[in-house]
């Protein structure tokens, strides 16, 4: 069995259910977060409360961590709510996670059928199932937009 | 009365005894033995205590950053027990957290808001990183009593001593 890399250990320590279901896709980065990554932005973080100088939040979205506010943020990028995360020809889809406190995470469906996630300040991963990141809570909403 | 020091006071009835609390008592109060040294008087009033706030803060900050690095939203990270422990250190932390804001670490703004009751984002026409920093600086100018460093605290005492 191959020895786990530092990044793989980092992921498994936080998301034990992901073991065997993910691949690391990047080095850790502070430059962007999961919400920005889901919108294909890797030059800034999306944050309703600015922690860092370059943090950004879509101007039309409320500055809170509700799923509704997060959906409004993604609506500014052309996403609309949809029923599920199944692959749909011509569309790009995202899944929004939620815990008891509010929104936690966004994952993007890849053409391969896997999901792409940026883990906070950590690395990007590709994972097989949305449930692999159960520590983020449950998926509360799906959104889709036409592929450019 | 500072609840963290109540157990200390019960431990002595000799004049001006230097006491070090035992670990269990301080854990219950959310602090560690190295954080607190207190002098108590025969009347069981606190003369002073020294809390190495910066050291304690750094311990908690490192734990917090490590434990919440997979989160993207500050509101989620601020719910972590280590962040809560910083807030639980109380108003003595205000000066330390203002230093963090000055250093550009706005992740401590919600903690400051909890401790001071002031939320800069509520007053700003546009919520920006620099706007929040400047609002905290203005708040510190207007509240020098809370914003001053407080590594040594002098409490009022029942036996008339006011300083050490």
| Domain CATH number, residue A65 | 3.90.1720
Percent of chain B at pLDDT exceeding 90: 47
In a domain, A1, yes or no: no
CB-based contact A50 B129, cutoff 8 Å: yes
B4 versus B63: the higher-pLDDT residue is B63
C-alpha span between B113 and B91 (Å, rounded): 11
CB-based contact B72 A99, cutoff 8 Å: no
Min Cα distance B69 → chain A (Å) is 5
Mean pLDDT of chain B, nearest integer: 73
| A115 in B contact zone (CB under 8 Å) | no
B21 versus B73: the higher-pLDDT residue is B73
Q: How far is CA B91 from CA B19, B38, B87, B100, B145, in A?
A: 23, 18, 8, 15, 11
Which range among A1-15, B16-30, B149-163 shows the weakest confidence by mean pLDDT? Answer: B149-163
The DSSP symbol for A17 reads: G
pLDDT recorded at residue A33: 98
The DSSP symbol for B35 reads: G
pLDDT at A10 over 60: yes
Q: In what order do the strands lie in the sheet with B17-19?
A: B17-19, B36-40, B46-51, B152-154
Which range among A22-31, A66-75, B41-50, B89-98 shows the weakest confidence by mean pLDDT? Answer: B41-50
C-alpha span between A91 and A111 (Å, rounded): 10
List the domain range (segments joined by +) for residue A94.
6-146
- Which residues does B73 contact at the CB level (< 8 Å), separation at least 6? A47, A48, A65, A102, A103, A104
B19 versus A110: the higher-pLDDT residue is A110
CB-based contact B70 A15, cutoff 8 Å: yes
| A14 in B contact zone (CB under 8 Å) | yes
Give the confidence band of B27 by pLDDT, cuts at 50, 70, 90: low
What total number of domains does chain A contain? 1
pLDDT recorded at residue B55: 81
pLDDT at A106 over 70: yes
pLDDT single digits (tens) B76-127: 999 999 999 999 988 888 989 999 999 999 999 999 999 999 999 998 999 9
* Both structure tokens of B162: 């006011």
Helix B53-67, helix B81-88: angle, nearest 10 = 160
In a domain, A19, yes or no: yes
In a domain, A13, yes or no: yes
């Amino acid at each position: 069995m191959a020895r786990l890399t530092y990044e793989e250990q980092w992921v498994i320590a936080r998301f034990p259910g992901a073991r065997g279901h993910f691949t690391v896709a990047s080095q850790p980065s502070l430059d962007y977060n999961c919400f920005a990554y889901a919108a294909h932005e890797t030059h800034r973080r999306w944050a309703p409360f600015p922690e860092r100088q370059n943090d950004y939040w879509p101007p039309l979205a409320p500055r809170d961590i509700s799923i509704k506010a997060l959906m409004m943020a993604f609506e500014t990028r052309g996403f609309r709510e949809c029923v599920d995360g199944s692959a749909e020809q011509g569309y790009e889809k995202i899944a929004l996670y939620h815990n008891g406190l509010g929104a936690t995470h966004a994952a993007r469906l890849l053409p391969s059928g896997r999901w792409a996630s940026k883990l906070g300040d950590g690395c990007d991963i590709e994972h097989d199932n949305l449930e692999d990141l159960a520590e983020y809570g449950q998926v509360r909403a799906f959104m889709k937009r036409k592929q450019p | 009365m500072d609840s963290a020091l109540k157990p200390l006071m019960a431990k002595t009835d000799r004049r001006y005894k230097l006491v070090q609390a035992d670990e269990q008592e301080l854990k219950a109060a959310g602090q560690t033995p190295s954080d607190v040294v207190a002098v108590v008087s025969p009347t069981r009033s606190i003369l002073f205590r020294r809390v190495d706030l910066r050291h304690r803060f750094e311990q908690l900050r490192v734990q917090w950053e490590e434990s919440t690095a997979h989160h993207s939203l500050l509101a989620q990270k601020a719910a972590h027990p280590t962040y809560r422990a910083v807030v639980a250190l109380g108003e003595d932390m205000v000066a330390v957290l203002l230093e963090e804001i000055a250093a550009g670490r706005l992740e401590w703004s919600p903690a400051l808001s909890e401790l001071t009751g002031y939320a800069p984002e509520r007053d700003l026409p546009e919520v920006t990183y620099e706007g929040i920093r400047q609002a905290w600086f203005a708040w510190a100018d207007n509240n020098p009593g809370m914003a001053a460093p407080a590594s040594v605290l002098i409490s009022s005492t029942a036996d008339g001593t006011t300083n050490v």
